[in-house]
Amino acid sequence: MFIKNYFKEVFSAIRSLLKGMRRTGYYFTHHKEIITQQYPDNRDTLNLPDRFKGEVVMPHDEKNEHRCTGCTACELACPNGTIKVITKFEINAEGKKKKAIDKLVYHLELCTMCNLCIVACPSDAIVMAQTFEHSVFNRSQLTKILNNPDSKIMEGIE
Amino acid sequence: MFEEIGTTTDGDLIINVGPQHPATHGVLHLVITLNGETIRKVEPHLGYIHRSIEKMCESLTYRQFIYVTSRMDYLSSHINNHACAMCVEKGLQIEVPERAKVIRILLDELTRIASHELWWGAMAMDLGAFTPFFHAFRERESINDIMEETCGARLTMNFIVPGGLMADIHPNFQKRVKDFIRLYKSKFEEYNEMVTGNVIFRNRMEGVGYLSKADAISFGCTGPTARGSGVSCDVRKWFPYEGYEKIAFDEVIETGGDSLSRYMVRVREMNQSIRIIEQLIDAIPEGEYQAKTKAVLKLPKGEFYSRVETARGEFGVYIVSEGGTTPYRIKFRSPGFSNLSALDQMARGSKLGDLVAMMGTLDLVIPDIDR
């Protein structure tokens, strides 16, 4: 009886091992079911979803105009001081003083991509871009100025 | 402070596992007292990844502090965010729209499956099987893709905000979740074939790392660790939140108390999560995804507590407010800390080689223990 049970156990053990081996053998012979992506060779065909949070950017239109009013809502919403808004006063055509941004400094090295600044922005001036390869050789390259040089605020945005 | 490698006065050998050791899944330091190959005592030393998150939260506003909790238990970051948002909502008495509640549950359960998938792969890898790791990541990848499309991130989402959600779900969400359910059901049998039924795996798990029901309660274990010892402790059943009381699902309980029971609880829990998702995916109500909230959130003076069931156990958030825009004090009750404290009791008397298997079944995430 003992010997019978012993051999029974041995055979069930071998069967359980073969079951697992059969599964790995299946994938060994079925290459089409393998889903590995060959990054970075597939960079050209890589599609990231629209909502992917890669980095904060400020879109400009063809006339080099942005939508930022310099209200500092993003600066207040940011949990770790990633965004600094430096404002200046511009004199417009009617001779009135108007607040505008001089620089919108963005520290990518501090950013945690929490999306709170995008939600806080009342005029949709900043959005998340789908870039994700952020490695640089010098840390100072990660501090970015989001508004283009000589850019202006779009008309009609208060 | 720390014992070095050497012997104690009665001839026992002391060895250190970690803090930099691949089997501890992070920076956990175990000081093990050995008598031959038998474990006498296991002493976990913590603090190698302590980032003082609780103190940090005291200088952040009620909207800002939520993103930090994703960095604690990064495998169930959605569920951590959910607990924090619920606690703030409790203080402000915000009524969350039904649509947001259902989507929150869906995302929670997807996160739970993703977390258990990763645990399953890593657990098999601890025991020396490498293939299951990739098989688990294949299914986890499709959950990550769903998260990426809807929340914009794969691991630290920060999608749940006080009052509801940051954005509505992506138009593809329902279709992709259904695709995932189909994929999961077709692949689930592989899990049992490869690991659960395997003779080597069973011999290393059965009867190893026994934790009695009384010990599980007295150490404060929660989640699958306690349910493997027969303790009924599912927060979703005992203290239902966000409408879990309306959903049909079973609390998975195994009474064995050994490593295999804890393993089986998690594997069966994945199926229950699938069951919850199947009930809700076609029943997402129409309406707003966010309640109207003030621009600056100010909690009234008082103390607020809310708890959820993460993939590892009970996660609690305790906020003391003085009436300002930032909390006076925040305490997080993390499941990993209590579960780890039971490791010494489990390991005493067993062999050194089984220690890694026991740690695997505890499903430790070290940043969650240290905070």
Q: Residue A60: what pLDDT?
A: 85
Q: Do A49 and B149 touch (CB under 8 A)?
A: yes
Choice among A16-20, A33-37, B262-266, B281-285 with the minimum mean pLDDT: A33-37
Q: Residue B7: what pLDDT?
A: 63
Give the residue-averaged pLDDT of B344-348.
Answer: 88
Q: Residue B318: what pLDDT?
A: 92
Going from the C-alpha of B304 to that of each of A155, B110, B161, B300, the distances in angstroms are 47, 27, 17, 10
Q: Which of B65, B170, B197 sits opposite A19 (nearest CB)?
A: B197
- Residue of chain A nearest B194, judged by CA positions: A20
A23 touches chain B (CB under 8 A): yes
Give the three-class secondary structure for B164: strand
Q: Residue A137: what pLDDT?
A: 92
Give the residue-averaged pLDDT of B284-298.
Answer: 84
User: Do A118 and A56 touch, CB atoms closer than 8 A?
Assistant: yes
User: Which two tokens mark A144?
Assistant: 């970015």
Give the residue-averaged pLDDT of B289-315.
Answer: 87
**CATH 1.10.645.10 matches B50-370:** yes
Residue of B296, B295, B300 lying closest to B322 (CA atoms): B300
Query: What is the nearest CA distance from B295 to chain A, expressed in angstroms?
Result: 9
Q: Tell whether the model's pLDDT for residue B260 goes beyond 70.
A: yes
User: Do B44 and B29 touch, CB atoms closer than 8 A?
Assistant: yes
**Chain A residues near residue B150 by CB distance under 8 angstroms:** 51
pTM: 0.88
Q: Residue B5: what pLDDT?
A: 57
The CATH fold of domain A50-153: Alpha-Beta Plaits (3.30.70)
Residue of B221, B215, B210 lying closest to B335 (CA atoms): B221
Choice among B15-19, B174-178, B330-334 with the minimum mean pLDDT: B15-19
Query: What is the nearest CA distance from B153 to chain A, expressed in angstroms?
Result: 6
Residue range(s) occupied by CATH 1.10.645.10 in chain B: 50-370
- Residue of chain A nearest B191, judged by CA positions: A20
Going from the C-alpha of B69 to that of each of A63, B63, B154, the distances in angstroms are 42, 12, 15
B154-188 residue pLDDT tens: 888 888 888 888 888 888 888 989 989 998 888 88
Q: Which of A16, A53, A77 sits opposite B152 (nearest CB)?
A: A53
User: How much is the mean pLDDT over chain B?
Assistant: 86
Q: Tell whether the model's pLDDT for residue B3 goes beyond 60.
A: no
Q: Do B195 and A35 touch (CB under 8 A)?
A: no
Q: Residue B167: what pLDDT?
A: 86
Burial class (CB in 10 A: 0-12, 13-18, 19+), A42: exposed
Query: What is the nearest CA distance from A39 to chain B, expressed in angstroms?
Result: 15
Residue of B337, B332, B368 lying closest to B58 (CA atoms): B332
Residue of A12, A53, A76, A121 to mutate, testing the B interface (most B Cβ within 10 Å of its Cβ) = A53
User: Which two tokens mark A22?
Assistant: 């059969």
Cα–Cα distance measured from residue B52 to residue B59, given in angstroms and rounded to the nearest whole number: 12
Query: What is the nearest CA distance from A143 to chain B, expressed in angstroms?
Result: 22
Q: Give the ipTM.
A: 0.81
Q: Tell whether the model's pLDDT for residue B30 goes beyond 70.
A: yes
Angle at B133 between CA B368 and CA B189, to 5 degrees: 110
CB atoms within 10 A of CB A148: 12
DSSP state for residue B324 in the 8-state scheme: S
Choice among A38-47, A110-119, B6-15, B131-140 with the minimum mean pLDDT: B6-15
Residue of B142, B160, B199 to mutate, testing the A interface (most A Cβ within 10 Å of its Cβ) = B199
Cα–Cα distance measured from residue B353 to residue B274, given in angstroms and rounded to the nearest whole number: 34
Q: Among all chains, which residue has been given the structure tokens 């720390």?
A: B2
Interface of A with B in 87-126 (CB under 8 A): 112-116, 119
Q: Residue A132: what pLDDT?
A: 84
Cα–Cα distance measured from residue B155 to residue B265, given in angstroms and rounded to the nearest whole number: 24
Q: Give the pLDDT band of residue A158 (cuts 50, 70, 90).
A: low
A81 touches chain B (CB under 8 A): no
What proportion of chain B, given as a percentage, has pLDDT over 90?
A: 8
User: Which two tokens mark B167?
Assistant: 């954005």
Give the residue-averaged pLDDT of B336-363.
Answer: 87
Q: Residue B6: what pLDDT?
A: 62
A20 vs B345, residue with greater confidence: B345
B128 Cβ partners below 8 Å, 6+ apart? none
